Amino acid sequence: MSLTVAGVLAVVILAVVAVAGGGLLTTLVFRQVDRGDHVAPTDEVDSVEAAQQILRGGAWIGALERTAIYASIVAGWPEGIAVVLAVKSLARYPELQAGKKSAAAERFIIGTFVSTLFACACAGLAVWFRRSL
């Protein structure tokens, strides 16, 4: 398979969409989750939004996660998804255990799923587009 300018451009544009768009989508999902909570956050019931203070650096980690997942799929190495998710989970485990707050764990799971699925969708489009040229 030869590389064309259109193919390379599509892969690069979809990479930017995966990284930047995934961050925006994740933020929108978090807002929707917080809006769906009918109980006001207290010390006992904490919101997903309040959990952001516990899981600092989430936006940067999410961007790196989407970049790595996108690159893994486009490179034809889907096993990279498992590596990325394992590294992220192991790195966050102490914070999730120490916090003992369910909202932090919920934020971690929701953010990871939204981020991963969006990066996979963009990478799938890139692979499809590259093959169709």
pLDDT tens-digit map of 104-116: 888 899 999 999 9
Taking the C-alpha atoms of residue 70 and residue 39, their distance in angstroms, rounded to an integer, is 37
Residue 52 contacts residue 58 (beta carbons within 8 Å): yes
Sign of the dihedral through C-alpha 109, 113, 114, 116 = positive
Rg, the chain, Cα only: 17
For residues 52 and 124, the model is more confident at: 124
Model pLDDT, residue 44:
47
Question: Model's pTM, two decimal places?
Answer: 0.85
Model pLDDT, residue 118:
99
Q: Hey, what's the torsion of the CAs at 70, 72, 75, 76, to 10 degrees?
A: -120
